[in-house]
Chains A and B, each alone.
Chain A
Amino acid sequence: MPWRQYRGPRLWIVLSPKWQSARARLHQQRAGAGPRFVLLSLLALGFWSAVFGIVYRVLRYFRAVAEIGDLLATKLLGLVLLAFSSILLLSNVITALSSFFLAKDLDLLAASPVHSIRFYLAKVTETLLHSSWMVALLAVPLFAAYGIVYHGGPLWPLAVLAAFIPFLLLPTVIGTALTLLLVNIVPARRAKELLSLIAIGAIASVVLVLRVAQPEQLVRPEGFRSLADFISMLQAPTNPWLPSEWAMRTLMNWLLRVADPKPLVLLWGASAIGLGVGSILYRKLYRKAFSKAQESARVTAGGRWTTALEAMLRWLPADRREFILKDTRLFFRDPTQWSQLILLAVLIVVYLFNIQALPLFSGERFPASVLSLVVFLNLGLAGFVLAAVAARFLFPSVSLEGRQMWLLRSSPLDLRAMLWSKYWIGTVPLLVLAVVMTTVTNLILKASPFMTAISLVTMIVFTLAASALALSFGAFYPRFDTENAAQIPTSFGGLVYMMASVTLLALVIILEAPAVAAQLWAEQRGDVVAWDPWVAVSLAGASALCITAMLLSLRLALGRVQRLEL
């Protein structure tokens, strides 16, 4: 072939290592972890069934409502697609940064004679698949429910594909273009940290705004001025220029048998234009941005606060002190780690807001025993929140040693010291959180001193156990290959940990429930309230269970870390 006509390898060749790797990974997972595959499949199936069931019931209900039923279904689809769009845009910007600027295959591809357009298309495809697979999977039961309720017919899946492919492609080309522009201004590594911070800030704000807006008030009939107002509000498009609106119109046109190809044309047209503009931007900006991404700026560390912490920890043995200092520095200097605190803060605010929004003290007065029961149920919820926080902050701690484990394993460090430091560095803030959260919610609920005492003791012992479980499961299911701490708890091990800690929480509540209920009924009857010895026995039983779980977990974690082969 004459060299002047040579246009480099075809797109599928550039992409082949990706699908070959995916195939190999799938094969490995199937071959090496049968029970894990079965468990994950069952969970996915359960989740899909639940989403399908809820959407199906809601749509059936809407269809039964005269006049506004179809409008409500249309609005619901529009809202869901709008939420998908926002998630996809954020996810694409972050994924494009990895696939275009930080991926391991970039040097190889950049040095090989791959045509620039094919390189761009290959990376766009990679970005699209990595950022959109979760949304696509989530959409399957949603579209299935719409198709069944509205009798979409056998060609409904094709109609969905025709609308959904450009719907996924548009955020990818926009996200890629934004990333190209951003990396021309900020170095790639900094941009990654900045973006994860922005993403978390955005998610936190949306959650907070949605909760504080009290959407439950919308379903109160006194909220509507007139039916006409309501219908006109439903009929108005959210924004006629949003791709989610075009996708929603395309799909609802199919379901409601409306012959209007305009939204579909807009979707595909915008995607084609987006790809064209994106490829031009790529040709203009990528080489410069890629070179810039290879440069590493000198980064100096601020150390005044660590000096203060060092002085506070002087009393500890050197290895434990340095371990705590090292982990604290790594945590607060890495925005992908500390930014999770923002989400945690939002989670707690929403939780406290929910407790305060309970209609316990408005209108009819509830008996004291009901309030005590609510306080007791609150224990379960608070325990779940604490277990989730431990999953986020303690579960990844062994994995985060990752490629540096050679240093710890080759040094005379007693691995007990490592686990000890990691356990307490995570558990102390968690204990503070447990005590503050339990006390504040009990105050809001005007709980009796009896119930507050029970709650506090239970939460403290459960926190000690949940932390140890998180550390231990993190050691048994380490993810040394990932650099992003936020991804570690979402692994299979993280799921197993959550199941284990929720089981422990359930056992604790089951142990305490009979004696506490007896005490509450005594209060209800107006008997003289004295400490029932059974309450003390059940509390001691729950505490013993938690302490045993803690000690056993830490012991197993130590054995596991000692045996880890890297």
Chain B
Amino acid sequence: MITLTGLTKLYGKFKAVDGIELTVPKGELFGFLGPNGAGKTTTFRMIAGIIVPTAGRIEIGGVDLARQPLVAKRRLGYIPDRPFVYDKITGAEFLRFVAALYNAEDASLERRIDELLDVFELTPWKHELTESYSHGMRQKLIIAGALIHRPEVIVVDEPMVGLDPKGARLLKDLFRRYVKRGGTILMSTHTLEVAESMCDRIAIMQSGRILASGTMDELRLQTASGDASLEDLFLRLTGGFRERQLDTILGP
């Protein structure tokens, strides 16, 4: 479970995240949507413990991140939007390192590494330095790293970027099964079809605030949108574009 209470982040005078209240219960896949610069990544980085909130509280599985950071982080798997990994270590060495960070070293570790590399089709690259991996392969390696310690909660920022259709499908199936087994996922995405088909509940964020949240039906009700698609709901809430503007930029 993830609970955010009055979560706020200021950069100087700029309010990147403005008093977010949110609870994602166990066994739910929660989608976070919003235009660029809405504050999604800042929120996720605060939940992951990378940056410190200006105000508010974050609980992961009932543990306060500020008070017991190591216990809270132990329960979390974080997948960032940009797959930066050490260039000069191999895929297997990276997973071994992550396992040690999460104190997840046991007798079955090597088998688990092999399983994860196999699932993400990285086995032929197991002993290659990650500098020779493609963007998608690095993304898969990071996802494998986030799963190695069997976390209770996964926070994932734009997971589909860089993945091929097969990899994207694998991730969708993996997340659905994970949630079915009682895991919690907080996911941000710009692919509205993915959010609509995968997420149990969705929040739409803009300028650091949550504009609306709930199931698809609840969102339609809140915005009085009839049977509008998620795309229409999103544009109605965040402000769309005018056809005249399109004509202007495309020329006569």
Instruction: Please give me the residue from chain A that is nearest to B82 by CB atom.
Output: A403
Task: Say yes or no: is B76 at the interface (Cβ < 8 Å to chain A).
Answer: yes
Interfacial chain B residues near A319, Cβ < 8 Å: 100-101, 103
Given known pairs A412-B70, A412-B71, the reply for A334 and B88 (CB within 8 Å) is yes
Q: How far is the CB of A50 from chain B (nearest CB, A)?
A: 40
Task: Say yes or no: is B131 at the interface (Cβ < 8 Å to chain A).
Answer: yes
In whole angstroms, what is the CA distance A403 to B90 when docked? 17
Interface bracket on A: 35 or more
Interfacial chain A residues near B128, Cβ < 8 Å: 298-301
In whole angstroms, what is the CA distance A197 to B92 when docked? 28
In whole angstroms, what is the CA distance A530 to B17 when docked? 70
Q: Is B101 touching A408 in the complex (CB atoms < 8 A)? A: yes
Instruction: Please give me the residue from chain A that is nearest to B76 by CB atom.
Output: A410
Instruction: Please give me the residue from chain B that is nearest to A562 by CB atom.
Output: B52
Instruction: Please give me the residue from chain A that is nearest to B125 by CB atom.
Output: A298
Given known pairs A321-B100, A410-B76, the reply for A299 and B70 (CB within 8 Å) is no
Interfacial chain B residues near A297, Cβ < 8 Å: 132
Given known pairs A296-B132, A334-B88, the reply for A411 and B101 (CB within 8 Å) is yes
- Which stretch, A167-175, A253-261, A325-333, touches the partner chain B? A325-333
In whole angstroms, what is the CA distance A563 to B76 when docked? 20
Interfacial chain A residues near B125, Cβ < 8 Å: 298
Instruction: Please give me the residue from chain A that is nearest to B93 by CB atom.
Output: A329
Task: Say yes or no: is A532 at the interface (Cβ < 8 Å to chain B).
Answer: no
Task: Say yes or no: is A189 at the interface (Cβ < 8 Å to chain B).
Answer: yes
Q: Is A566 touching B50 in the complex (CB atoms < 8 A)? A: yes
- Which B residues from 67 to 105 make CB contacts under 8 A with A? 69-74, 76, 78, 80, 82, 84-90, 93, 96-103, 105
Interface centre among A300, A326, A406, by most chain B C-beta atoms within 10 angstroms, is A406
Secondary structure class of chain B's binding surface, majority of residues: mixed
Q: Is A301 touching B102 in the complex (CB atoms < 8 A)? A: no
Task: Say yes or no: is B192 at the interface (Cβ < 8 Å to chain A).
Answer: no
Interfacial chain A residues near B85, Cβ < 8 Å: 404, 407
Interfacial chain A residues near B84, Cβ < 8 Å: 402-404, 406
Q: Is B74 touching A300 in the complex (CB atoms < 8 A)? A: no
Residue interface mask B47-71, A partner, CB < 8 A = 1? 0111110000000000000000111
In whole angstroms, what is the CA distance A402 to B82 when docked? 13
Task: Say yes or no: is B127 at the interface (Cβ < 8 Å to chain A).
Answer: yes
In whole angstroms, what is the CA distance A407 to B84 when docked? 9
Q: How far is the CB of B100 from chain A (nearest CB, A)?
A: 4
Interfacial chain B residues near A298, Cβ < 8 Å: 125, 128, 132
Q: Is B51 touching A565 in the complex (CB atoms < 8 A)? A: yes
Q: Is A301 touching B101 in the complex (CB atoms < 8 A)? A: no
Q: Is A333 touching B129 in the complex (CB atoms < 8 A)? A: yes
Q: How many residues of B contact A (CB 8 A)?
A: 40
Q: Is A301 touching B127 in the complex (CB atoms < 8 A)? A: yes
Interfacial chain B residues near A60, Cβ < 8 Å: none
- Which A residues from 371 to 414 make CB contacts under 8 A with B? 402-414
Q: Is A322 touching B88 in the complex (CB atoms < 8 A)? A: no
Interfacial chain A residues near B105, Cβ < 8 Å: 318
Interfacial chain A residues near B132, Cβ < 8 Å: 296-299
Given known pairs A299-B129, A319-B103, A412-B73, the reply for A563 and B52 (CB within 8 Å) is yes
In whole angstroms, what is the CA distance A333 to B88 when docked? 6
Interfacial chain B residues near A408, Cβ < 8 Å: 101
Interface centre among B52, B85, B87, by most chain A C-beta atoms within 10 angstroms, is B87
Q: How far is the CB of B133 from chain A (nearest CB, A)?
A: 8
Q: How far is the CB of A35 from chain B (nearest CB, A)?
A: 20
Residue interface mask A300-325, B partner, CB < 8 A = 1? 11010000000000000011011101
In whole angstroms, what is the CA distance A405 to B101 when docked? 13
Given known pairs A299-B129, A403-B84, A406-B84, the reply for A326 and B93 (CB within 8 Å) is yes
Residue in B48, B72, B103 whose CB lies within 8 Å of A406:
B48
Q: Is B69 touching A322 in the complex (CB atoms < 8 A)? A: no
Q: Is A326 touching B89 in the complex (CB atoms < 8 A)? A: yes
Interfacial chain B residues near A409, Cβ < 8 Å: 48-50
- Which B residues from 120 to 139 make CB contacts under 8 A with A? 125, 127-129, 131-132
Residue in B45, B90, B98 whose CB lies within 8 Å of A407:
B98
Q: How far is the CB of A23 from chain B (nearest CB, A)?
A: 23
Residue in B50, B102, B103, B131 whose CB lies within 8 Å of A296:
B131
Instruction: Please give me the residue from chain B that is nearest to A319 by CB atom.
Output: B100
Can you report 12 A-B residue pairs in the complex whose CB atoms are below 8 A from each other? A297-B132, A298-B132, A301-B90, A318-B105, A322-B100, A323-B97, A325-B97, A326-B86, A329-B93, A406-B48, A412-B70, A412-B74
Q: A326-B93, A404-B86, A412-B102 are in contact. List 15 more A-B contacts (CB 8 A).
A: A299-B129, A299-B132, A303-B127, A322-B101, A326-B89, A330-B88, A334-B87, A404-B84, A407-B145, A409-B49, A410-B48, A410-B76, A411-B101, A412-B71, A412-B73
The 10 tightest CB contacts between A and B, nearest first, are A322-B100, A403-B84, A410-B48, A333-B88, A412-B73, A411-B101, A410-B78, A412-B70, A412-B74, A318-B100
